[in-house]
Amino acid sequence: MLLSYCTNVHPAEDFDGLIRQLHEYSGPIRRKAGLNILGVGLWLPAGLARRLAHNADDLAALREVLLVEGLQLHTINAFPYGGFHNEVVKLDVYKPTWAEPRRLEYTLDCAEILAALLPENTAGSISTLPLAWREPWTQADDDAATAAFVELSSRLRELKERTGKTVRIAVEPEPGCVLDTVADVAGWLEARIDRGIDPEFIGLCVDTCHLAVSFADPVDAVNRIEAAGLRVVKIQASAALHVTDPSSAAARAALTAFAEPRYLHQVREQGENGILAADDLTEALDTLPGKAPWRVHFHIPLHHIPSSPLETTAAVLRHTVAEVSRRHYGWEVHLDIETYTWSVLPSGQVGIVDGIAAEIGWAESHLLAAAPAS
């Protein structure tokens, strides 16, 4: 697997900001981690992606900075369209939807950039949202999204013919969205293969925080993907919060510290009669019964062990990587560390360079070293 960290943790929205973050953060992270080459999973807001896709000089400048800083690009995060570090993001992160032309245009811009910057003899991946937040979503929206993915398949096939580079789209299920789970994404794509969605270019991104929040089994999830004739294109290495007894006073006090206003923190409770859901942690604290374990969509640094009664789902990440590594294509999957929450952790602002370097070290020891050989 090819390891990287996602730069959506850095709040750059323009070209100068992108170049600055690579010099001030990504390069120092590589050196702190003791690596000759570090993979970066770039987040490029839509306006910046449009500029880079249509400006050869800027693209050449970006290529030079990557080279100078010892950075390598294999994957792009095209889930947030822009404004990912606004004071309040919440549901805005799901806009525009895949029913809107801007989403396809943005994704194609990212594909052009990635094809231009990929190392030789490697494939690229672009993660994207699972269509939209679940409401409002109509049949007309679904038809438009289907047409967009059919067009995307065609355009990525043409891109490969033109450039010799394979770029794959990785649809990322997320709790609360139209395609909430791995099974939802696999089923939606599988039903549209005969309508023109090409599994050679369209697959799944398994965000292991999202997978854990849904209380899914990693083996079952990967098997479901393959049963649909699809593949895991990308794993977003992430860990959720786990609380065994959310009704206790200690647990509620600890969880309240994570109820911050910028991002959405979906919660699932593993009830006796099925999974109970809340769209945000503040809602969960008010409405869920708390009689069974909770998992919270809050990306916790991979190496971090929180104080009791809080735990993380790092074990789900380890099991997922091990399972995907066993597949014949496992060596080609992109493993992208996506802890974008450093600035909103209850402990306050921390050293990003030291923190991400520690995550990279943890991933090398606990994920790559432990994974079976392909």
Q: Which CATH class is domain 2-238+313-368?
A: alpha beta
Amino acid identity, position 306: P
* pLDDT tens digits, one per residue of 233-243: 999 999 999 99
- For 257, residues 6+ apart whose C-beta sits below 8 A from its C-beta are 346
Helix (H, G, I), strand (E, B) or coil at 67: helix
Q: If you search the block for the tokens 């080279």, which residue do you land on?
A: 67
Residue numbers in the chain where pLDDT is lower than 70: 348-350, 370-374
Quick check: 62 and 52 in contact, CB under 8 A? yes
- For 284, residues 6+ apart whose C-beta sits below 8 A from its C-beta are 267, 269, 278, 294, 296
Q: Which H helix or E strand runs over 294?
A: strand 294-300
Output the pLDDT for position 374.
42
Pick from 11, 166, 198, 155: nearest CA to 74? 166
Q: Count the Cβ atoms, other than its own, within 10 Å of residue 262.
A: 15
Quick check: 208 and 316 in contact, CB under 8 A? yes
For the entire predicted model, the pTM comes to 0.96
What is the per-residue burial (b if ≥16 Cβ within 10 Å, else e) of 184-193?
A: bbbebbbebe
Q: Where are the beta strands (DSSP E) in 180-279?
A: 202-207, 232-237, 239-243, 267-271, 274-278
CA atoms within 13 Å, Cβ hemisphere of 130: 26
Name the DSSP class of 345. S
